Amino acid sequence: MQNISSKNTAKSLLNKFVSLKTIPHIAVQASKMINDVNSTVRDLEEIIKMDPTLVLRLLRLVNSSYYGLSNKVESITNAVVYLGIESLRNLIIVDALKDIFKKSKDDDLFSRTQLWFHCAATAICSQMIAECIFEQKGDDAFLCGILHDVGLIVEDQVANELFVKTYTSYQPGTKLFIEYEKEIIGTDHSMIGFLLTREWKLPPEVQNGIKLHHSTKAIKSSNTVEIIKIAEYLLSKLQIFGISGIPPVLPQETLKHLQDNIEEYKVLISNLPTEIVKAKEIYMPSEE
């Protein structure tokens, strides 16, 4: 019953968020299309072409030093050839989201820019874990990382007073932050993010990773859910938090996996700051 109530509240907040037209419609359409098995690259290009500014931004990002491509990419079709459709999907979503994380009037209390940096770092770290530790494609892990805390922004924008009350009421070391959210707001950011990504028809692994990234129950370590948890845990060691004073909690089984593979993770975490700096021009919002 409580879960149904939480879901209904999350839907209500999302409806208000969507009505603000915060997320560009073209980005939502493109995201859904990329995850539709019946869509073609040509279909995607026709959608993106409807927003010439988006085309220019995407091509600028693809041709940035971060990707280091030897040949200049001059079309969305070529971008797919060079990067793959999943990477292009991730760029579209990053481009759509990053401006909603710009500073707000409450930034001294709750920093959207700090949260966005945390999300970007989580995305980069999650992709590295998927590829370097588990030797699997990291695109979905990246996408899950960049979106895992988007529900906090929804709460901040459409239920600001309740969100501020939750944020200021939280006492580290008592119970999980999501429990405070449920008590005060009536839902939590994990549920909101899950419903948003379901609406966008993103892969189930991404949806579930967001829904369960605060779960204290362990799943198979290579699952996207656990990859996000591990990424947040590693970033906490570098003092990169979404909300200050809210440390991630790893299930015992996941902690054991980390300890059993500590040498590999030491290498990964030593390379992480360089990767984050490299990616900053793509992921950080513009200062306007």
CATH (domain of 178): 1.10.3210.10
Q: In whole angstroms, what is the distance from residue 126 CA to residue 157 CA? A: 27
The more confidently predicted of residues 172 and 60 is 60
The answer to whether position 128 is within a domain reads yes
Band of pLDDT at residue 3, cut at 50, 70 and 90: confident
pLDDT at 142 (0 to 100):
95
The answer to whether position 27 is within a domain reads no
Band of pLDDT at residue 288, cut at 50, 70 and 90: very low
The answer to whether position 117 is within a domain reads yes
The answer to whether position 200 is within a domain reads yes
**129 has a pLDDT exceeding 60:** yes
Model confidence, pTM: 0.89
pLDDT at 170 (0 to 100):
87
The answer to whether position 85 is within a domain reads no
Band of pLDDT at residue 91, cut at 50, 70 and 90: confident
The answer to whether position 45 is within a domain reads no
Chain mean pLDDT for the chain: 87
The answer to whether position 34 is within a domain reads no
The answer to whether position 83 is within a domain reads no
Cβ neighbours of residue 117 under 8 Å, at least 6 residues apart? 240, 284
Q: Which of 122-126, 163-167, 219-223 has the lowest mean pLDDT?
A: 219-223
Structural domains of the chain, count = 1
**182 has a pLDDT exceeding 90:** yes
